[in-house]
Amino acid sequence: MQNTEKKKVAILGSGMSALASAYELTSYENWQDHYDITIYQMGWRLGGKTATGRGQNERIQEHGIHIAQGWYENAFRLIQDSYKECEKHNLMPDSPFKTWDQAFDRENTTLLTHFDPKKNQWIKKNIIFPDNEYLPGQGGPLPFSAIVKKAIGLVLEILFGIDPNKGKSFVQHAPDGVDDIKAPEHHHLWSSFKSKLEELVTGKVRHEGERLMNYVAELVQHMTDEEDAAKRKEHHSLIQELLDTISKWARKLIDLLADKSEYFYWLAVFVEFGLVNMKGTFADVYNPETHELDYERINDLDYRQWLKNHGASERLLSSAMVRFLYTGTFHNLTGPDQQGSLAAGVGLHFLTNSAGYKGSFVWKFKAGTADTMITPIYLVLKHRGVKFKFFNKVEQVHYSDSGSIEKISMAEQVTLKDGTYNPTYKLKGIEVWPGEPLYDQIDDAQAKALQEGNYDLEEAWCGWKNVENYTLEKGKDFDYTILGIPIDVLGGNEGICKEIIDNNDAWHKMYHNVKSIPTMSMQLWIKPTLKELGMKLSDWGFPEGALPNLVTYADPQYSFIDMSQVLPYEDWKGNEPGVLIYYTGSFLDPEVVPPYSDHYYPHEQLERIMRISEQWLRDKMGWFFPNATTLEYPEGMKFDVIHDFSGHARTDYARLKTQFFRANVNPTDRYTLSLPGSNKYRLKADESGFDNLIITGDWINFGVNVGYYEGAIVSGLQAGQVLRDKLGLKSETAIFNGVKMKH
């Protein structure tokens, strides 16, 4: 029975999951008849870990590196819808981005780097992902059979395609004695399927191995189309035998060729990576009875261990292809030996989805992440009637044994002159977000104190005294609440859900098993161009006009991306740098993290990562920028190529400090990990244990369970639909790559 009484919804936090939940709740006709929504947000801006600020020269200051990948179906659909609604209601009249696609640059080239201990040097390999005709956010994810077909096509191209430099295929380079691959003729399905599949394997087949791989692709299509579970199991067993046969042959070929040159090394790694992951997927993850991919089956294993279980060589386990998953998800320093630990099912799920990218592999924001993605969402929500309360901090979501949340303790951080806060200002037609509060909207005395004391209202160790404490009460201020605040804020001595964690076993297990790690970021505005720095794109395998990116270089700042496309949306007044590069990586907490009363801690950690980054640049960047090296630092870069924002820096370090750095030690900023064995402790959006509390964020069990904003959006959509279900209202938005809710 539908409840017609209008309910009050309090959304705590404003990261991507909280914003997505509000967007989902307000995307239905006449939603205002059923509930009203207020978002409570600490500090002065929205976006959580995707928040953006502006600094000197209106430079864009990020929490880290943010891009969109072509398989972010839910994120792209949300972005596309928000741009469409902004256009419909003229909410961004002066924006240079009239449509969603104008707000992105497409990039298909990715660089892998690997340290070769035999040569004692780094080696590189560029990958150019081919464009395809699909558009992310439209039509849903590619089916599993299409992803397998794409992966097989890539393996076939590597094995049997012609090397332009040698005029031969990988297989043709092999010595005699490896061409003994045989089909599994003993399998009772083989003879009947061979004749059926032969006519489907089109084109000139150059080798029996190529024919068998094509058979696998066609068999997967047959299997996914088959409705009878018993027949699917037979298809499945034949696919496994084919992959096992091909893998044994490929392993023999790889062992003979891999060490001959860098060219063969990279081909060997790519082929083995593709085959081992496919083989393991069909052995452990695909369930022919249910016709589903059950990644949870292997989440108690580390991803490398799972690969090893399916025959992966040490060459593959130490390769950039495998490291890509650990560094790309900030898991590279986890585990007892600090060599990386990642739940195998989560890693494989992330990899499988990546292979199903649409359009381009990488889509880069034209301006800041928040300018491009958060702004239109905020403007749409505001236009729809969602209320925003900035500078309102959650102190405690109180436990109650009534089965409902009865009260929430809050704090007002500052007094606003007009009672409301307008968080953005216009720059080059875009509504952008400041790097610190817009002080002219805050009580003058408080604004002066904030500035003189250098208080950061987003910082847990801030030390600022809130101006007022108040309580939200059930039935008066809220009927339902959506908790969208990161897990590190929830527990511990000062946690906002400490009472719940202390009294609820499921929450206790989740908080103590779902871990996180601090991350660092560095943004360098460099005066010379890449070419002037000595980085000739063609030598690195990049086409002219490409913006290089990689995530597998040397720790700690192992991710490197050219973000020069945002420079026109900063304000350089004719003195624009030649290149803008973002770096990011993870680092470990000190042995003891001090209580929030230690106001110097975040500043000490920031100084720590700046010093680390200084040495890293001196030791590592010469490989990329040979024209910026010196006799004193032949492997690194000289700092006078960096734009001096102060205009009077007397030392290299003083110049470096004028760039933008973040040490993401704040509990709101840390990256949520998916360690082996931790997935089972995550609660779903509808599993809070309280009938009026719904949880959302990258820390819940939403599906892929990797700390990325696509996943946060999935969890937000789930939260919105859980609430609508509680109110007896229908939900129509499809959620891609999400776990099933109870309802």
187 has pLDDT over 70: yes
The burial of 177, by beta-carbon neighbours within 10 Å (0-12 exposed, 13-18 middle, 19 or more buried), is given as: exposed
- pLDDT value of position 70: 96
> Does residue 581 surpass a pLDDT of 80?
yes
- Among 355, 390, 411, residue at a domain's last position: 355
Give the pLDDT band of residue 111 (cuts 50, 70, 90): very high
690 and 641 housed in the same domain: no
Q: H helices of 588-708, where?
A: 601-620, 652-657
User: How do residues 481-497 score in pLDDT, each as one tens digit?
Assistant: 999 999 999 999 999 99
Q: What is the model's pLDDT at position 1?
A: 43
Amino acid at 293: L
Q: Percentage of residues in the chain with pLDDT exceeding 90?
A: 78
Phi, psi (degrees; rounded to nearest 5) at 260: -75, -35
pLDDT, residue 548, reads 80
Answer whether residue 2 shows pLDDT above 60.
no
* Average pLDDT across the chain, whole number: 93
Let me know whether 344 and 377 are in one domain.
no
Say whether pLDDT at 214 is over 90.
no
Any domain includes 90: no
Spatial distance between the Cα atoms of 361 and 354, rounded to a whole number of angstroms: 8
Instruction: Give the contacts of 117 (CB within 8 A, at least 6 positions apart).
Output: none
Reply yes or no on whether the pLDDT at 588 is more than 60: yes
Residue 430: φ, ψ to 5°: -105, 140
Q: Is residue 632 part of a domain?
A: yes
The DSSP bridge pattern shows strands 480-483 and 693-695 to be: parallel
130 pLDDT band, cuts 50/70/90, is confident
Element (H, E) at 376: helix 375-384
* 698 and 607 within one domain: no
Which residue, 305, 330, 355, sits at the end of a domain? 355
Which residue shows structure tokens 């060490």? 259
Question: Are 580 and 434 within one domain?
Answer: no
Same-domain status, 306 and 440: no
Q: What are phi and psi of 218, to 5 degrees?
A: -70, -35
- Maximal C-alpha separation, the chain: 85
Looking at residue 587, its pLDDT comes to 97
C-alpha–C-alpha distance, residues 632 and 135, integer Å:
49
Residue 700 in any domain: the answer is: yes
Q: Is residue 408 part of a domain?
A: yes
What pLDDT score was predicted for residue 177? Answer: 63
Domain membership flag for residue 18: yes
Instruction: Please tell me whether residues 474 and 487 are part of one structural domain.
Output: yes
CB 424 within 8 A of CB 382: no
Place of tokens 């972005």: 79
Strands 7-12 and 35-41: parallel
| Domain match, 343 and 380 both | no
Find the range with the poorest average confidence among 63-77, 117-131, 425-439: 117-131
Kindly state whether residues 311 and 411 are assigned to the same domain: no
Judged against a pLDDT cut of 50, whether residue 541 lies above it is answered with yes
Residue 403 sits in the same domain as residue 421: yes
The least confident of 77-86, 174-183, 633-642 is: 174-183
pLDDT (tens digit per residue) in 589-619: 999 999 999 999 999 999 999 999 999 999 9
Please give the pLDDT value at position 405: 98
Give the residue from 144, 175, 438, 428 showing the smallest Cα distance to 294.
144
Kindly state the average pLDDT of the residues 466-472. Answer: 98
Indicate whether 578 pLDDT > 60.
yes
Q: What is the pLDDT of residues 623-632, one digit of tens each?
A: 999 999 999 8
Residue 59 within a domain: no
> In this structure, how many other beta carbons lie within 10 angstroms of the beta carbon of residue 90?
7
Can you give the residue range of the structural domain that contains 616? 519-664
In a domain, 46, yes or no: yes
Could you tell me if 668 and 485 are in contact, meaning their C-beta atoms sit under 8 angstroms apart?
yes
| pLDDT for the residue numbered 156 | 82
What type of residue sits at position 380? V
Same domain, 490 and 415: yes
DSSP 48-63: GGG-EEE-GGG-EEES
Query: Is there a domain that residue 2 lies in?
Result: no
In this structure, the answer to whether residues 552 and 614 fall within a common structural domain is yes
Average pLDDT of the segment spanning 266-280? 94
Q: Does 577 sit behind a cis peptide bond, omega within 30 degrees of 0 on the bond before it? A: no
Percent of the chain with pLDDT over 70: 97
CA distance 350 to 706: 8
Shared domain for 252 and 172, answered yes or no, is yes
Residues 6+ apart with CB under 8 A from 658: 642, 643, 644, 645, 646, 649
What's the total number of domains in the chain?
3
